[in-house]
Amino acid sequence: MFARDFMTVSRRFLVIAITCAVTVSIAQDDDAESPASEPAGDLVLVAGATGRTGGHVVSELLASGYRVRAFVRDADAAREKLGTDIDYAVGDVRQRETIDAALDGTTAIISVIGAGREDPRNGPEFVDYGGTKNLVEAAVDAGLDHFVMVSSAGVTHEDHVLNKMFNNVLIWKFKGEEAVRNSGVTYTIIRPGGLNDKAGRENEVVFEQGDNAAGMIPRADLARVCVAALVYPEARNRTFELVGGDGPFTDDLQSQFAGLGGD
C-alpha cells in the first residue's frame, strides 16, 4: 500500500518537474528569438546627409546596424530623399546652437559637408571651415566618442587649381581639418580623390598618406570607409588619402587602417 502510494506521488512530481522544465525552456527560446531583447545600435549624426555622398553614408550606417540622425536644413525635403527609417534634426552647420540640440543621444558624427557655389554665405570659409569647427566643438562639448570628417585630397597644396576655381576651397578644408585635429576629440579624417558614382565594391581601395595621392573613388566605397572608421581602433586619430586601385575588391579595411601612421 505504502509502495503504491509512493510511486503515485513520485509520478506526479516527475510530471510537474518535466512540465516546469519544458516551460522554462520555451520561455528561454522565446527570449532568445525576441527582437526586443537585442540592443539597438549606436546613434550617429550625419552632417551633409542629403548630398550625393551623404546618402551613401546613411545607407551604409543602416546596413551596418547603426541608427541614423540626419542633420538637415529642410526635414521634409530630406525625408523624400532619404526615407523614414532614420531620424531628422533641423539645423545649419553655420549655427552652432542648432548643432547642440541635434546631438542628444548620439555617439559619433560623420561629416560630409561641402560648400555651395551659388550663395556666398554657403562658401568654403563658412561651411568647410566654419561649419566643421562648429560641429567638432559641439562634439567635444557633448562628449562624443568619434568624429569622422570627409575632407579632400590636395588640401596641403595651396596652388591647387581647385583653390583658384572655388574660393580657396582646399585651403578652408585644411583649416577645418586642423580644427578637428586640435579639438581633443577622437577623429578620423579621410581625404578622398575625385568622387564618382560607380557601384563600389568592385576594386580595392587604397589608403595613402603625404597628400600626393591621385585617382578616383566611388562614393559608395568612401561611405564604407567612413563607417568602418567607427569600428576599428586603428582608424583613430589618423589622416589619410583614399583612392580606388586596380586590384580586386577586398573587405579587409582593418589592415589598411593598421598600416597608417598616427597624426
The share of the chain scoring above pLDDT 70, in percent, equals: 85
Calpha distance 165→42 (Å, rounded): 39
* 244: helix, strand or coil: strand
Tell whether the model's pLDDT for residue 21 goes beyond 80. Answer: no
Grid cell at residue 108: 559619433
For residue 29, how many other CB atoms are within 10 A of its CB? 10
pLDDT at 23: 37
Among 24-38, 111-125, 137-151, the range with the most confident prediction by mean pLDDT is: 137-151
pLDDT at 40: 54
**CA gyration radius for the chain?**
25
Q: Which residues are CB-contacts of 209 (< 8 A; sequence separation ≥ 6)?
A: 239, 240, 241, 260, 261
Tell whether the model's pLDDT for residue 169 goes beyond 60. Answer: yes
Residue 166: which pLDDT band, with cuts at 50, 70 and 90? very high
Calpha distance 159→13 (Å, rounded): 88
From the number of C-beta atoms within 10 Å of its C-beta (0-12, 13-18, 19+), residue 232 rates as middle
pLDDT: which is higher, 200 or 40: 200
Calpha distance 149→112 (Å, rounded): 7
Residue 44: which pLDDT band, with cuts at 50, 70 and 90? very high
Taking residues 129-147, report their average pLDDT.
98
pLDDT at 134: 98
Residues 78 and 88 sit within 8 Å (Cβ to Cβ): yes
Phi/psi of residue 219, nearest 5 degrees: -60, -35
pLDDT at 117: 85
The DSSP symbol for 183 reads: T
Taking residues 7-34, report their average pLDDT.
37
pLDDT, tens digit, for every residue of 194-230? 999 999 999 999 999 999 999 999 999 999 999 999 9
Q: Which residues are CB-contacts of 79 (< 8 A; sequence separation ≥ 6)?
A: 88
Going through the chain in order, the beta strands assigned E by DSSP cover 43-47, 67-72, 87-90, 108-111, 146-150, 187-192, 194-196, 203-208, 216-218, 238-248
Tell whether the model's pLDDT for residue 131 goes beyond 80. Answer: yes
For residue 165, how many other CB atoms are within 10 A of its CB? 10
Residues 43 and 66 sit within 8 Å (Cβ to Cβ): yes
Tell whether the model's pLDDT for residue 8 goes beyond 60. Answer: no
* 88: helix, strand or coil: strand
Tell whether the model's pLDDT for residue 3 goes beyond 50. Answer: no
pLDDT, tens digit, for every residue of 70-93? 999 999 999 999 999 999 999 999
Calpha distance 242→162 (Å, rounded): 18
